[in-house]
Amino acid sequence: MLRRRLSSLFRRANVAFFSQSSPGSGSLDVAENLNSRIVIPNKQRKRVKPGVISRELALPKNTKRPMYARETVRGTPEQPLEPQVHDEHDRKSMRTSCRLAAQVLEYAGTLVKPGVTTDYIDRQAHKLIMNSGAYPSPLRYARFPKSICTSVNDVICHGIPDSRPLEDGDIINIDVTVYRSGFHGDTSKTFLCGNVDDELKQLVDVTRECLTMAISICGPGVDYRLIGETINEIADRYNYGIVRDFLGHGIGRYFHSAPAIIPYRNRIPGKMQVGETFTIEPILTTGGTEYQIWNDGWTAVTKDGSYAAQFEHTVLILETGVEILTLPL
Ligand code: MF3
Ligand code: CO
Ligand code: CO
């Protein structure tokens, strides 16, 4: 999802909202929100600790890579300030990429079991993507070292697959993005590992519900901000926090672009248009919503140890409504 990089683009574009929010500290309304919310205590849960990251996996030479993953390219991947709008032909390509991402995600989910390492899940997903003639979009994206993101328990997002074996009672978000025939498809789900507390299962269910309901209000001419409104209303009913610093995004030929799809109440203007594709990817927590980044430069964890759940789909706006592209079918 989009982090500071896009917000700095918006800053350049003079969108005041983004220039006010600074990662980690949160904006004013966050503080108010936190004070008024009953924070659910985390029952002395252990925090996830970094494991060992294995070496980079190989890909066939002829796999078509996105620009940022070519040998000679360095620096920040391009994040266009325009939405990505597709004609009929490109919509078909998006459908194909997105379906593959969904199939890989479904497969990865079947591997979630106590004792299995996130590195193993990454390796298996990598193989499936490779054998499908696609490229795993996260690999080498701004130096991300693996093919999928695996975010366990108090990890908010962008967890790097490593040597940590999954434990009974963990929740794990697996985020799969593939690049195929020039188009990215992006989707994630939070899976239950073994026997998960009812309290945590509810977090996962409510987060899934937020995504479902947010998609249901999408269509041509609809304000993007209604996505945030819809999610916020549901999260509030359960006193869950919504992480504010990671957002959905336009997607297509580029992994990330405008519009920023904000998963909480906001007043940012902009309307959905026919042919555009973007992701919706709310992250809910059992408590606080501030984050810290591990020394690996990627893994975002909650400051207070709250657990986090996330679901993500890539959608296409049609004349008649909205199509969820990341279904495995
Ligand atoms: N898939 C994530 C998203 O939803 C982005 C991951 S970027 C990575 O936008 F480099 F961490 F893989
Ligand atoms: Co995304
Ligand atoms: Co994603």
Atom from ligand 1 closest to the CA of residue 249: 9
Average pLDDT over every residue of 160-185: 98
Q: How far apart are CA 142 and CA 81, in angstroms?
A: 18
Percent of the chain predicted with pLDDT > 90:
84
158 ligand 1 Cβ < 6 A: yes
144 ligand 1 Cβ < 6 A: yes
- Between 150 and 26, whose confidence is greater? 150
Q: How far is the CA of 35 from the centre of ligand 3 (A)?
A: 30
Atom from ligand 1 closest to the CA of residue 149: 12
The encoded tokens of residue 185 equal 């498809």
Average pLDDT over every residue of 52-71: 95
The answer to whether 22 touches 126, Cβ cutoff 8 Å, is no
Atom from ligand 1 closest to the CA of residue 279: 4
Atom from ligand 1 closest to the CA of residue 298: 11
* Average pLDDT of the chain, as a whole number: 90
Q: How far is the CA of 168 from the centre of ligand 1 (A)?
A: 26
- Of all protein residues, whose CA lies closest to atom 9 belonging to ligand 1? 1
Atom from ligand 1 closest to the CA of residue 256: 9
Q: How far apart are CA 240 and CA 250, in angstroms?
A: 26
* DSSP codes joined into one string, 238-287: TT-EE-SS-BEEE-SSSSSEEEEE-SS------B--TTBEEEE--EEESS
- Set out the domains of the chain in order of their start, with CATH numbers: 4-19+76-324 (3.90.230.10)
The pLDDT value recorded for residue 166 is: 98
Which one of 65, 76, 140, 144 would you pick to mutate in the ligand 1 pocket, going by the greatest count of ligand atoms within 8 A of its CB?
144
The pLDDT value recorded for residue 29 is: 38
**Residues found in the chain:** 329
First to last CA, the chain: 24
122 ligand 1 Cβ < 6 A: no
149 ligand 1 Cβ < 6 A: yes
Q: φ, ψ for residue 266 (rounded to 5)?
A: -160, 170
Average pLDDT over every residue of 188-217: 98
* Predicted confidence (pLDDT) at residue 24 exceeds the cutoff of 50: no
Average pLDDT over every residue of 118-133: 98
* DSSP codes joined into one string, 115-160: T-BHHHHHHHHHHHHHHTT-EETTTTGGG--SSSEEEETTEEE-PP
Average pLDDT over every residue of 247-270: 98
Using pLDDT thresholds of 50, 70 and 90, give the confidence band for residue 26: very low
- Between 249 and 39, whose confidence is greater? 249
Atom from ligand 1 closest to the CA of residue 251: 9
Burial 12-39 (b: 16+ CB within 10 A, else e): eeebeebeebebeebeeebeebbeeeee
275 ligand 1 Cβ < 6 A: no
Q: Measuring CA to CA, which residue among 325, 279, 326 is closest to residue 91?
A: 325
- Between 230 and 17, whose confidence is greater? 230
Which one of 65, 76, 173, 255 would you pick to mutate in the ligand 1 pocket, going by the greatest count of ligand atoms within 8 A of its CB?
255
- Between 14 and 174, whose confidence is greater? 174
- Of all protein residues, whose CA lies closest to atom 11 belonging to ligand 1? 158
* Predicted confidence (pLDDT) at residue 93 exceeds the cutoff of 80: yes
Q: How far is the CA of 36 from the centre of ligand 3 (A)?
A: 31
The pLDDT value recorded for residue 173 is: 99
Q: Is the bond preceding 269 in cis, omega lying within 30 degrees of 0?
A: no
186 ligand 1 Cβ < 6 A: yes
> Of the ranges 37-46, 56-65, 168-177, which one carries the lowest mean pLDDT score?
37-46
312 ligand 1 Cβ < 6 A: yes
Q: How far apart are CA 20 and CA 8, in angstroms?
A: 11
- Of all protein residues, whose CA lies closest to atom 3 belonging to ligand 1? 1
Element (H, E) at 175: strand 171-180
Give the Å distances, CA to CA, from 310 to 73, 81, 151, 243.
31, 25, 9, 10
Average pLDDT over every residue of 274-287: 98
Q: How far apart are CA 200 and CA 67, in angstroms?
A: 39
